[in-house]
Each structure stands twice: as C-alpha cells, then as structure tokens.
Amino acid sequence: MTDRSREETLATDERVLGRLAGRSVVVTGGAGFIGSRLAAALARVCDVTVLDHFSTGDPDAVPDAATVVRGDVRDVDAVHEVTADADIVFHQAAMASVGRSVRSPVECHAHNASGTMTVLDAARRTDTRVVFASSAAIYGHPESVPIHESDPKTPTSPYGVAKLAGDQYVRAFADLYGLPTVVLRYFNVYGDRPGGDDVVSQFADSARGGDPLVVHGDGSQTRDFVHVDDVVRANLRAAVTDATGRAYNVGTGDPTSIRDLADLVRDAADGPVEVTSRPGREADIDRSHASVRRACDHLGFEATVDLADRIGALLGGSNSVEAPGRSN
C-alpha cells in the first residue's frame, strides 16, 4: 500500500467512526486481545459496554470509558440484559485456543457455538446488528489458495468445528429472521501480545529471551498474518456496511512462510538468535492465505500494517501504528 493509499484509508476510517458516533455497542470478550482493542477504538465515539467473564481477559485492557459487565455469553439472562438497548453487538468472546479445544471439546462447543446462539437469539428480539468473529480455521486444509469465502469448509479441530457452527448460525439468523449480520473470518491475527500462543508471539518471546526459534518441518508452510489494528478496522467497517448477511475474509492476501517469519524475527532481534528445526506436525496446514477481494469490494477494507515493519516494532518494544481511536 502506498503512502497516499494509506492516508486515504485512514481518512475513511475516521469517517466510519463518525457514522458510529453516539451508538450504543456491546463487545463480548471485550477484555481479550482483539476485543479490548476494538472496545478502545469504539469508546472514542460510542457508548461501549464490555461483557467478559475475565477467565482469560485482562481487566486492565478494557478502556476506562467502557461500562464493564462481568458475565458469560452462555448465560442467557446476562446476554439478554446487556444487549437489550444495543445498536450493535460485536461478538468477539470465544475459547480461542485450538489446543485447549482439543483438550476440552465440550467446553469449546459451549463457548463458541452455544454462546453464539445465545447472542443471536438476544439480538433478534431487538433486531440488533451482530458482527461475528469467525476464523479461517473453518476452512481446514484448503484445496487451493488463496482461500475464498465460498471454498469448502473442512475444519480439523473442535475449535474450527465450533466456529463453523457459529458462522452457520449467523447466516441462518440472517436468512430466517432478517437479522443484520456480518461474519468476519480472521486469518492469523498478531500484535503486541507477550505470552500469546500464536507463532508470532512465540517467536517474539523466544527472541527476547535469547531462546531458539523452533520451526516445525521445513518451514515452507504459509500463513496470512494480519495485524490486530487491521482486524479492528475491519470490524468498524462491518458495523456500518449495507452489505450484511455475508461473510468476509480478514487477512492481507499475502502468504508468509514460517521460515521467512523466523528470518524476520531473527533479523529484527537485538542479539543473535538461533533458528532450529523439529519434525513436522501431522495436523499442520501447508498453505493458507486469504482472498480479500470480497472485503475490499463490499467493506472497503484493505490491510495497512506491514508485517516486517511491525515485527521490528514488536521487538523494539514500540507499537507505532494505532487503530482508529486507540488509546494508550
């Protein structure tokens, strides 16, 4: 993206925020990695309520301007109460760990599928727009890349299956009840997240600690790394679009191999960092990156954050690119 294009995009983001001014919004999972940043962006112009049970979320990450409700999306009464007067619900709450979903599949389904149903049922009673955080995990092993929204869905983990169930429930509620919905299928979201279980956070933590970066297999497997600030921007666009009732991939459209990611981290580190190899993992997906044409055409969304630049910022301890309305 050119500097001029980036300036035009950021100016459009400000106009989007202007369209949201004065709205009452709910962010489920608003203390989480993505949800807290989304809540901070919205709090600039909206009346924000965060619903979170804080089992994994950070209370300190919630913006001061937000109203905090300690509750669970599996609690029907709590969800109905918090969404009763909302104009928009951003449903970010989820069990987000694939590994944890394998260990606790019933709990994963309760959070990610049943919890989504609870949010949708509450929203349909007041015809409240729902922006749902889905995942590229629903695609499983893609037959080809880039991955389009209409491609086959063959999830390989309880997390992916439950997210697909939520994704389909959202579509059903749009079709059956005319509920205004937007599904955002996140690809590999990264950001300033020490201790995170995503590969960018793991590599960054290892580099900071002087530990080797562990690459499984030959490192040729590819991912689409999209920065959390861009994910926030996609949510804001989804909140105002007229193109509801559809799903959109949220990524950069650019594949990066795990080996290349390791090289970026090693080159950005303050000191020497070793890259080591371990045997490949059978469940690993070989290739994954998004087709972003639909999001560009209908949401006007295009990722703005450069991976190499942000890796340098992460290891340098800064966070120079801010989402609209993001508070420090």
What tokens appear for 286 in the block?
A: 């070989």
On whether the CB atoms of residues 249 and 183 are closer than 8 A, the answer is: no
Q: CA-CA distance, 328 to 320, in Å (whole number)?
A: 11
Strand partners, 246: 182
Q: Which of 139, 159, 186, 190 is catalytic?
A: 159
Is the preceding omega at residue 155 within 30 degrees of 0, hence cis? no
Greatest Cα pair distance in the chain:
58
Q: CA-CA distance, 137 to 290, in Å (whole number)?
A: 12
Q: CA-CA distance, 126 to 304, in Å (whole number)?
A: 35
Q: CA-CA distance, 126 to 169, in Å (whole number)?
A: 17
**Buried-state track 222-248, b at ≥16 Cβ within 10 A, e below 16:** bbbbbbbbbbbbbbbbbbbbeebebbb
Beta strands in 192-262, from DSSP E residues, in sequence order: 213-216, 222-223, 225-227, 246-250, 256-257
Q: How many CB atoms lie within 10 A of CB 162?
A: 28
What's 154's DSSP letter? B
Tokens 């594949």 label which residue?
Answer: 255
What tokens appear for 13 in the block?
A: 């983001």
Q: How many helices (H) and strands (E) in the chain? A: 12, 13
Beta strands in 95-211, from DSSP E residues, in sequence order: 129-135, 181-186, 188-190
Active site residue 159: yes
Helix (H, G, I), strand (E, B) or coil at 13: helix
Active site residues: 159
